[in-house]
Structure 1
Amino acid sequence: MKWSGLLIVHLRNIFILLVLSLVLFLPGIEKLPPLDRDEARFAQASKQMLETGDYIDIRFQETPRYKKPAGAYWIQAASVQMLSPNDATLIWAYRIPSVIAAIASVFLTYAIACLFLSSTSSLFAGILLAASFLLNAEAHMAKTDALLLVSILISQYGLARIYKGDTVHQNWLYFWSGIGIGILLKGPIVPLIISLTILGLWYFDRNMKWVKALRLKAGVLISMAISLPWIIAVQIRSDGSFLRTSIGGDLLPKLMGGMESHGMPPGYYLLIVMITFWPGSLFICPSLVNIIKTKTEICSKFLIAWVIPTWILFEIVPTKLPHYILPVYPALAIMTAKWMNDFKPAQITLGSKFFIALWFIIGCALIVASILLTNLNRDFVTSLTNVISVTVLIEQIKSNMQQNTGTMIIALTSVIFLLGSCIFLWNGRLKSSVISALCLAGLFFIPLTYSKIPAMTWAFPSLEVASFLRSSNELKNGLISIGYHEPSLIFLTGTDTYLTDIEGGVSKLKERSHNLALIDRSQLQDFRTKAESMTLKTKVIKTFDSFNYSKGRVLTLDLLKITDK
């Protein structure tokens, strides 16, 4: 194909991926409330940068936030400054960098796949990543993970080109620029993953001569030029606390044991990949078989070196969260694209058919969960913590579908595409299977993020409290919160919101009588007893019946103010 014709094909494919990504990633960006706890912490720290003008020292209220470098906070602050300069509590402005990063990750996955495969197969690699559950989730949250994925893919793109023997100048610049950006986003994670990939390639080839093209000395200087100035500045500002906290207080504890109740045994990521890479997980089994059969090919070697060492490391590390494994998902998407490129009908084995059946069951479970989320109320969620009969679940599903025709239509259409994906794959019609799975993803993710989760207002007490304070013109009076300390409350009600216990709350209310007090109902009586002992009389002006999903428990909050009566 002539160069001009190839350019047109690439531009067409990029346009397809752009439209697809926007359709999947944008719905719900504005409607989803700030999510506890990581997103709200990131957004609040970025908001404080704008409030104080201090872009070196990262803080959540008065507490230093030195677990991660400043890159993501800078990008979020810049986004808010450009898109919402007059209202820093609009969470969608903090999420736009994650959306852009997720789209860029889809493009880069396509670009890396094009180094080894046809443009058509590479297009499907981008489609599968864009449709994946985990990337959709990260695109809707103002955190570092989508941004981190971009930096990894920039480095992997440069590494893949050099490994193939393409040693033009920009390739080593891609490699080291990605590492420098990654360090500024999340410390040593990107260098670690890239090093493991190089180690995997050495295992295959027992030859490291090609590594000279990475230009180690010049490359390290570039990475240092990107990341080191801020690290030096924050080390000076924090009297050396930043590196002690980020490495000694965050990274090493995660490597040594389960941190913040996130400890999981080895095999965790293997167990959840059917959901986190869904719907692309339908193709994992035959793709892995194919990649092993073709392990001597340069594409297969690169993908195996990318996935296996990193996956093993994350399985060994005790602290586990679903998004930690995201950096290898582009490689899984390219593996699937390679299988499609190499496909022979005989590759749909009995084992693959068993895997298809398992995927179908998981898909049905997700559709059922989506139906249950329609008109979901707090009482039903509370009942899930107890033994609940199948009959009750069936009745709830029937009720939701009868009350909402749209839900019924979407559910039935989803089942059709679910079946279609399986049947097409079973019969060796791979492209039709991927397209059917893509339609299924759209029917699942778009209603979920645009309407179903935002409609569960009872699950977002911080938003309910902030909305009431704004509508009643009470926000300016300030808030003291006792027993409810979620970061989203700070983000939505203001940096000056005071989080404390009963004794501290009563003392603060004595000093600032114009403040309102937000109290967990379980502590209300003790609060009133303490307040009366200090001659403070209060009255409840609003009660919020909510659910704290971070702690998995029912929550009732009372909003009080001082009264003379």
Structure 2
Amino acid sequence: MLLLGLTLLLFIPGQMTVPPLDRDEPRFTQASKQMLERNDFVDIRYQDEARHKKPVGIYWLQVAAVKLTGHDATAPLWVYRLPSLIAAVLAVQMAYWFARAFTGPPAALIAGLFVAGAVIVGVEARLAKTDAALFAAILLAQGALARLWLAGEGRRTNGLAFLFWTGLGLGVLIKGPVAPMVVGLTVLALMALERKAAWFARSRPLPGVIWLVLLVLPWFVAITLATDGAFFREAIGKDLLGKVGQGQEGHGAPPFTHLAVMFAIFWPLPAYALLSLSTIWRERASPLVRFCAAWFVPSWIVFELVATKLPHYTMPLLPALALPVAVALVAGAGALASGEVRGSRRLSWVAAVLLALPPVGLAVVALAGPLALGVWPSPPGVVLVVIAACLALAGAGQILKGAPLKALPASIGAALFVAFGFWGYVGPALSPIWVSPRLVAEITRVTPCADPQVASTGFNEPSFVFLQGTDTLLVGPEANADFLAGDVAGSRACRISVVDATQEDRFLAQAPTKGLVPVLLGRVQGLNINGGDELDLALYGASASTVEKSEDRAGAVGAASGSGKASGADAPLAPDAAPAPDAAPAN
């Protein structure tokens, strides 16, 4: 119950206030949204493009969340995030359950706290995509596997076998081969360590595999028929093998990158792990350490060898590190930290820095980051993350005093204040990076039409498609001019062209050839968090002149060529809009 209450406090802030985070999250939510719009729950699509990358599990969970909360395809983002929130909460519970296979409640509670407080789990709990749900599925399978491995002869294990194969099947439906890889490598490593495989018979392999096939086969057959096998060619041939062989979408990195990144994304665990290394090594022959090593080491090696590296890839390995550290803390890491083991004072200083640095760095960013973006910091957000930094410093002080267990409450307290401060206030207040919601709000402001048609040139972020609507057109400048010139039915307020400044001259140059007199309705500026590019987006509508000229397109083109540019005082403007000082003239 303590872990349940704590995880809700850690994971709920920001669920409703943080806009969609490009690009993965809105791709998933948009595909789920289109399932609801099309009433097709087999084929996965992003606008008109087939999305053959991941299986259907997360989309079904998101669709179920929408329906169970009484919404339709227009559901707000937080509804699509519910499966990730619930999965993260369940994952913490299952981390405790997994730990209880090896140890008593105190160490199991600490292991659960490490999982709940980890930065990466908090991030994935707020993103409507696969990884939190995959984490929970893997923990279900691994918790059952641990008990199957430990079970004595003659013990009934049918229930554990059912949980094991069910977790594996859910993992396959959510993210394909990742769960079988992590779980399968654990099984193989345990067989190698034990030098026998007979214990795996407790998992009831034959009926288990049949149950697994029954779980996953119906959709795989349906998607194969619906796409004529294209799903597997894309998902395996391009997405999976592409990530193995080369860094996709700029996410390539050398080996040992994951190990370095873990010091940040597993916070606060790494500080305590460093203090516990000697204790864990002394207990390396124990069942607990052997199982956790079999879970952690083989999969970590695979993740390091895969060319594409993203921080969340190693999240399924977190409990395998959290449990031995928790047991070591209870069993004697205090002696290590107090200097009874040679060299431990140096480790204590390094551990103290590892514990204090992330919250202190976040406090600096919470103050300086908004100023760098040209906005004021959020006062409550800054106060809360500064308190988090103070708590982390207090925990670091306890580590230096040789009392790492006393540092743990301060660490979890810091995680709580970070959750409320950053996700609740600091993040949502960084308005320059939230371009899509501001752009949608500006479109709503400049048009009285309840459901405007929108075409975008130069700004193609999935978050914009999700927020504005599935029928949002992503086109080049020529096609965008065609789109706006086609507004000839007197409903010009219902067509809006969004044009990035880098494409604006081409768009305006095309206007006369289309018989178009564009009207600058507004501009939205900001910073694209994908790549850090500055954005300057113009919103254009068609003037009444466009309607008249459309009746004779050839005459309109000739008139535009003969009369020159309609600019400055001659350019028609929306009643409540004026061109920005640096706007290109309307041709």
Name the residue aligned to 2:526.
Answer: 546
User: What is the one-letter code of the residue matched to 1:331?
Assistant: A
Contact in 2 for aligned 1:371/1:407 (Cα 8 Å): no
Q: CA offset at residue 351 of structure 1?
A: 4.9
Name the residue aligned to 1:107.
Answer: 93
Matched, 1:354 2:346: yes
Name the residue aligned to 2:436.
Answer: 462
Query: C-alpha separation between the residues in 2 aligned to 1:361 and 1:424?
Result: 12
Q: CA offset at residue 475 of structure 1?
A: 5.2
Q: CA offset at residue 174 of structure 1?
A: 1.0
Matched, 1:486 2:461: yes
Cα 1:137–1:191, aligned 2, differ >3 Å: closer, same or farther? Answer: same
Name the residue aligned to 1:373.
Answer: 366
Q: CA offset at residue 350 of structure 1?
A: 5.8
Query: C-alpha separation between the residues in 2 aligned to 1:287 and 1:228?
Result: 44
Contact in 2 for aligned 1:80/1:88 (Cα 8 Å): no
Pick which of 158-167 and 348-357 moved more. Answer: 348-357
Query: C-alpha separation between the residues in 2 aligned to 1:538 and 1:354?
Result: 67
Cα 1:177–1:482, aligned 2, differ >3 Å: closer, same or farther? Answer: same
Map of 1:260-275 to 2, 5 A cutoff? 260-275=249-264
Pick which of 507-516 and 139-148 moved more. Answer: 507-516
Map of 1:458-537 to 2, 5 A cutoff? 458-471=432-445, 472-474=447-449, 476-512=451-487, 514=492, 515-537=495-517
Name the residue aligned to 2:208.
Answer: 219
Name the residue aligned to 1:161.
Answer: 147
Name the residue aligned to 2:125.
Answer: 139
Q: CA offset at residue 84 of structure 1?
A: 5.1
Query: C-alpha separation between the residues in 2 aligned to 1:351 and 1:62?
Result: 61
Pick which of 96-105 and 534-543 moved more. Answer: 534-543
Report which of the two structures shows the higher radius of gyration computed on alpha carbons.
2
Q: CA offset at residue 375 of structure 1?
A: 7.7
Contact in 1 for aligned 2:84/2:126 (Cα 8 Å): yes
Matched, 1:195 2:181: no
Name the residue aligned to 1:446.
Answer: 420
Pick which of 532-541 and 33-42 moved more. Answer: 532-541
Deviations 1:325-379 (A, max 9, x none): 00001112112212123215432256554344345445335434334334844x7
Map of 1:51-130 to 2, 5 A cutoff? 51-83=37-69, 85-86=71-72, 88-130=74-116
Query: C-alpha separation between the residues in 2 aligned to 1:344 and 1:509?
Result: 68
Matched, 1:26 2:12: yes
Count of aligned pairs between the two proteins: 532
Cα 1:417–1:351, aligned 2, differ >3 Å: closer, same or farther? Answer: farther
Q: CA offset at residue 409 of structure 1?
A: 4.3
Name the residue aligned to 1:255.
Answer: 244
Which one of 227, 234, 238 corresponds to residue 223 of structure 2?
A: 234
Cα 1:354–1:479, aligned 2, differ >3 Å: closer, same or farther? Answer: farther
Unaligned runs of 5+ in 2: 546-571, 573-587
Contact in 1 for aligned 2:33/2:73 (Cα 8 Å): no
Contact in 2 for aligned 1:475/1:493 (Cα 8 Å): no
Give percent identity, aligned residues only.
32
Name the residue aligned to 2:575.
Answer: none
Deviations 1:375-404 (A, max 9, x none): 844x7249xxxxxxxxxxxxx9xx96xx94
Pick which of 125-134 and 412-421 moved more. Answer: 412-421
Name the residue aligned to 2:551.
Answer: none
Matched, 1:177 2:166: yes
Query: C-alpha separation between the residues in 1 aligned to 2:129 and 2:160?
Result: 28
Which one of 405, 408, 417 corresponds to residue 434 of structure 1?
A: 408
Contact in 1 for aligned 2:496/2:541 (Cα 8 Å): yes
Unaligned runs of 5+ in 1: 1-14, 383-395
Q: Greater RCO between the two (CA within 8 Å, min separation 6)?
A: 1
TM-score, L = length of structure 2? 0.87
- CA RMSD in angstroms comes to 2.0
Pick which of 412-421 and 189-198 moved more. Answer: 412-421
Q: CA offset at residue 203 of structure 1?
A: 2.4
Q: CA offset at residue 295 of structure 1?
A: 1.3
Pick which of 530-539 and 368-377 moved more. Answer: 368-377
Query: C-alpha separation between the residues in 2 aligned to 1:355 and 1:344?
Result: 12
User: What is the one-letter code of the residue matched to 2:124?
Assistant: E
Map of 1:36-55 to 2, 5 A cutoff? 36-55=22-41
Which one of 270, 273, 283 corresponds to residue 294 of structure 1?
A: 283
Cα 1:428–1:375, aligned 2, differ >3 Å: closer, same or farther? Answer: closer
Contact in 2 for aligned 1:84/1:90 (Cα 8 Å): no
Query: C-alpha separation between the residues in 1 aligned to 2:72 and 2:145?
Result: 43
User: What is the one-letter code of the residue matched to 1:119?
Assistant: P
Q: CA offset at residue 507 of structure 1?
A: 2.3
Where 2:428 maps in the other structure, the secondary structure is: coil
User: What is the one-letter code of the residue matched to 1:532?
Assistant: P
